[in-house]
Chain A
Amino acid sequence: MDLIADELLVDSGQKPSIKYDPPDLAPQIYIEDRGKNRLHVTVIGSFWEDVLEVQRPAIILDAFRKAGRTQVAEQISIAMGLTPGEAEALGMEEK
């Protein structure tokens, strides 16, 4: 969760950019505005390796709240976390 929250803070300029080691540890956060106050969020990162798929949506929502983006968190209707390997297997490595 901290990695995602930190990346959100970097994104909003509240934190300096982070150098990740290894690079695929860097969360890639994709937010789709589906209209009607509904957002779909996909987060790709190798930190999901030991996290069950079913636990990932709640972690993503918590990360947004931790980054101070509570209003955004309330609009997230679909949240999906993928490892880089899963994203590649699903053909989603470049959203």
Chain B
Amino acid sequence: MSSEATGGRIQPADTIAEFQQAAVARLADARALRSRERDYWAVYTLGYAVEMHLKIAYFRLFGLRETEDARVALRMARPWAKQLGITEPDRNLHGLLFWLKLILIEREFASRPLPSEWANKMLSCVQRVASHWLPEMRYRAPAEGTARFRRVVAATAWIVQNSRVLWN
């Protein structure tokens, strides 16, 4: 995350480069948590890694360069999604299905659709992670961590390995 001098507050990541570093860090965090049998929080961390990969794909589709400020693109996402008729909730811009649908529909709109079979595979993986990565996790006692982890780890790996197809 970039940091600014103003009041010592940490500002949200502003660039693709920062998001990429953060995504790598979140995956490392998830591995560290898993090694300490903190599977529930490993899942929580994996969700963020997926979110960042999807946002990176959206920024690239938007035409941003690595070190370009992404905040405009972020602010445009909600109204653009509304124009495209996307009904998936954005969940304060953390919605994984929201970001994926935005990418897929934007590509269809621009006459650059992805092959259906591939798109549906990506959708299935994001759906798997999204249905186990919920905001209320942070307020609950850890439960079913290992089962959750097993359900999402393969899907996360597939998303991370294949996310660049979303903007190519």
Q: Which residues of A contact B (CB under 8 A)?
A: 32, 34, 36, 38, 40, 52-54, 56-57, 76-80, 82, 86, 89-92, 95
Given A38-B108, A89-B134, A90-B130, A80:B113 Cβ within 8 A: no
A57 vs B95: C-alpha distance when bound (angstroms)? 21
New A-B contacts (10) at CB < 8 Å, excluding given A76-B116, A80-B127: A38-B108, A53-B125, A56-B124, A57-B120, A77-B116, A78-B123, A82-B131, A89-B131, A91-B95, A92-B88
Could you tell me if B108 and A36 are in contact, using CB atoms closer than 8 angstroms?
yes
Interface flag for B97 (CB, 8 Å): yes
Contact B124 A90 (CB under 8 A): no
CB-CB < 8 A to A32: which residues of B?
Answer: 85, 87
A57 to B128, CA, bound (A): 13
Which residue of B85, B101, B113, B124 contacts A57 across the interface (Cβ within 8 Å)?
B124
Q: Which of B87, B121, B125 has its CB near the most chain A CB atoms (within 10 A)? A: B87
A32 to chain B, nearest CB (A): 7
13 inter-chain pairs at a CB distance below 8 angstroms, sorted by A residue, are A36-B111, A53-B125, A53-B155, A78-B104, A78-B119, A82-B127, A82-B131, A86-B131, A89-B131, A90-B131, A91-B88, A91-B89, A95-B87
Chain A CB within 8 A of B105 CB: yes
Tell whether B150 is near chain A: CB-to-CB under 8 Å: no
* Nearest chain A CB to B37 CB, angstrom units: 25
List the B side residues contacting A91 at CB < 8 Å.
Answer: 88-89, 91, 95
The 6 closest A-B pairs by CB, nearest first: A57-B120, A91-B89, A53-B124, A54-B124, A86-B131, A77-B116
In Å, the complex CA distance between A34 and B109 comes to: 8
| A86–B127 touching, CB < 8 Å | yes
Whether B134 pairs with A34 at a CB distance below 8 angstroms is: no
The residue that A77 contacts in the complex, of B88, B97, B119, with Cβ under 8 A, is B119
Nearest-neighbor residue (CB-CB) of A30 within chain B: B87
Do A54 and B121 form a contact, CB below 8 Å, given A34-B105, A86-B127, A91-B91?
yes
* Given A90-B97, A90-B130, A54:B111 Cβ within 8 A: no
Taken residue by residue from 74 to 110, chain B's Cβ proximity to chain A (1 for < 8 Å, 0 otherwise) reads as: 0000000000010111010001010001001100100
A57 contacts B123, CB within 8 Å? yes
Bound-complex Cα distance A40 to B116 (A) = 10
